[in-house]
A and B are shown apart, each in its own frame.
Chain A
Amino acid sequence: QKEVEQNSGPLSVPEGAIASLNCTYSDRGSQSFFWYRQYSGKSPELIMFIYSNGDKEDGRFTAQLNKASQYVSLLIRDSQPSDSATYLCAVRKSNSGYALNFGKGTSLLVTP
């Protein structure tokens, strides 16, 4: 079992719709969770972090964390074509200092 799992996609949504991206993790002691966006050929760009159960909203983005079920999700409201990118879920393990474990990423395509 991979430590951080994401559906590779591609996930295709029409412009203006809500995109839902999911991530599961195996280390039950994980404390911090991050979503990064990565455009093709570019480096990861931080979108949000979350470390408490529940929802955290920032503009069009909402991160959701459920530690009991070991999943974290990212919702993008009013999706725009410029949101088309790969979204990486990253988890800071409980026993590994500050290193992040990344999933493979989910490719999102927002169609006009």
Chain B
Amino acid sequence: DTGVSQDPRHKITKRGQNVTFRCDPISEHNRLYWYRQTLGQGPEFLTYFQNEAQLEKSRLLSDRFSAERPKGSFSTLEIQRTEQGDSAMYLCASSPTGGATDTQYFGPGTRLTVL
């Protein structure tokens, strides 16, 4: 296991459809994060998990968004009733617990296009 993996890498959907993305963190990384990035902007934090517990959610995470990490390993991010404004790159990152800096390593991202 050499890094964070995400699936799918690309998703095209029609407005109003539901989509689900998966993230597999680096083995033994307890913390997992979701970010969203639009063109010309830096990543924006959405939510993070420590093991299976969702410890923080951004105001950006509307009630159409839900994230889970049921067994403390992989995580899913679901967007219900997609809107064109949801088009973005969805990035997952993971980090080990402990240490002073909690360095986050990013996966390749899932690019979502809502038509």
Contact = CB atoms under 8 A, between A and B. Distances in A.
Interface of A: 4, 8, 32, 34, 36, 42-46, 49, 51, 88, 90, 92, 96-105
Interface of B: 31, 33, 35, 40-45, 48, 55-56, 58, 89, 91, 95, 100-109
- Which of A4, A32, A51 neighbours the largest number of chain B CB atoms within 10 Å of its CB? A32
Contacts of B102: 32, 92, 98
A23 to B, nearest CB: 11
B33 A99 contact: yes
Contacts of B48: 97-99
Contacts of A34: 101, 103-104
5 contacts: A45-B106, A49-B103, A88-B42, A96-B56, A103-B42
B45 A49 contact: no
The 10 closest A-B pairs by CB, nearest first: A102-B42, A99-B45, A43-B106, A43-B109, A97-B56, A32-B101, A49-B101, A44-B106, A98-B102, A102-B43
A22 B107 CA distance: 25
B15 to A, nearest CB: 24
Contact of B43 (A44, A45, A49, A92): A44
Nearest to A32: B101
A90 B33 CA distance: 14
B6 to A, nearest CB: 9
B104 A43 contact: no
Contacts of B45: 99-101
Contacts of B35: 100
Nearest to B92: A43
A42 B108 CA distance: 7
A98 to B, nearest CB: 5
